[in-house]
Structure 1
Amino acid sequence: MSPSVDYLLDLSLSRGTLDRSHTRRRDPGLIKAVLADPETQVLDMVDKQAPTCRVDGTLQLVFRPPQFGDGDQLVLYLGVDGDGVSYVALPRDSADGGAEDGAAEAPGPGWRTLREAGAELDDTHAGVFTSALALAHWHARHPRCPRCGAETVPEQGGWSRRCTEDGSEHFPRTDAAIIVAVTDREDRLLLARGPHWPENRLSVLAGFVEAGESLEATVAREVFEEVGVHVEDVVYRGNQPWPFPASLMVGFSARATDTGLELDEEEIVRAEWFTRGELNWAVRNGDVQLPPRVSIARRLIEDWFGGEIEASEEVSQPFRGRDS
């Protein structure tokens, strides 16, 4: 891997500012104490969406103080800010119903997903939403012990679950994945489309790190497997969490040593090399739809391009038919 100090430092979901207070999580009375504090900031999340509003043109999350009954549902402790104010999130699905006092209504106008809101939120709010969504996904997918199948219960402010049968403790999993902007010797950018994406959606290549594999090896393997191109000059560019549901996207750039494309059609159904002018024209007239601005993919593309690319229509929904 080539060294680089030119990192992408303004990635939307890497800007959290809260002190996660990991030692405080060990207190079994933490959630009760935090909910007893009227200064605590509570974020309702329904169907993975959170309430937002604009204040002087700036998008913000909408928090509320603790209310009676909050402690009867899953509470995720997210940490404290510089003023010592605690933040928690209460995730639920609208199909499950809500607290008896109706604190969290079903999503409506003003409720946004992280994909929709993340790029516009400030550092604290972006970090709160990102951590809350990652934890909410994990709890929803891990109600039972992977060792014995018994039910598990949340502990440590929602940062672990303990098996009620064998006592084993389980923690949120993060899956590492690489994402890479591949250019050729003429500085053209390679963009591709997966089989489950809409026909005009293109992005840079990405893939999960396999067991026993380094990040650099993953870059080389994924690019060759998906499009048949060898790469060199692999350069780290930055990383950000991607809680859809539980990834850490590690960004790179790389230079192709050859440009002939041989697609693995189970993974890639379209791949093209673009000059800056070609991509700008294709995006403006709607022939190419880029990843959302909240993604590291979009930042890698626009970093190569040299600035923001104005699209005819911005996308925020998942590329696939499910939130993955």
Structure 2
Amino acid sequence: MKKLINDPRAVVDESVEGFGMAHPGLVSVHPDPLYVSRAGGAVPGKVGLVSGGGSGHEPLHAGYVGLGMLDAAVPGAVFTSPTPDAIIPATQAADGGVGVVHIVKNYTGDVLNFETAAEMCAAEGIEVRTVLVNDDVAVEDSLYTAGRRGVAGTVLVEKIAGAAAERGDSLDAVAAIGERVAQNVRSMGLALTACTVPHAGKPSFELADDEIEIGIGIHGEPGRQRVGLEPADALTEHLLGPVADDLGLAGGEQVLLLVNGMGGTPLSELYVVYRRAAQLLADRGVAVVRSLVGNYVTSLEMQGASVTVLRLDDEMTGLWDAPVHTAALRWGV
């Protein structure tokens, strides 16, 4: 194992500390319990947004704390859900007096711990709504979940719900737009190589040099199938087809297309995937009107990619275009 780390047990703490030092105008880091909040604290009268999950998926989630997205993020240990004792103060830090929305990826630990934290916050007078993200079409009931996993579509939920909160929508309205995004987004990924969790010291699974894992999870969970090495266009078809079919996309619809890197794939290759995915959508009569390409929800240093499609309406498109200023996403400001 070769990694730029010191003690494997200190990776998350040291990484988050460095993140805070690099972005002091955007975030504040709270070390014990560990969470990241928006610089300057909660915005009075604005619905707060909180998300979190195991580390190793950077820039998710701390990279999306700031104007137009999250008010706080809770990083757990690598690939391990954060505990309620960190989620509770993060929720308190995000509360501007009108309630907080938790955006939760559908992993059993995340769901249970955020649910516990929401109940305890409610007992203290903070209204909490929860939006569950379960966009992965690859498998149901994986090693970490009951039902579909939450993957790269999480970024789109955070951005659009965050914009709704920033414009002053009510707690129920912000939760409703988050739910609408979650219901209209689907993703699927593949892996060329495994990743290595620092404290494990070895790859999370074995892939032969000529094998690709289709439908991989962001924790290295197995997917739908293993196939032999194929050209990028063929591999992209393995991803885009199930995503579009599951959404039931029809000709004339408009979508946002996200091609997400898993951490170790060059941007040049991601654009090769984007090219074919956009062509396949055009063949279906679907217009790609918004796009995003890059490393947004990763799996440490895994080589691979995922394709995410969001069915857009006019409101969601406007909220996507709204100003955002975070470490990982910035436009309109």
Pick the TM interval, shorter chain. Answer: under 0.3
Q: With structure 2 as the length reference, what TM-score do the two structures score?
A: 0.26
- Going by fraction, where is helix more abundant, 1 or 2? 2
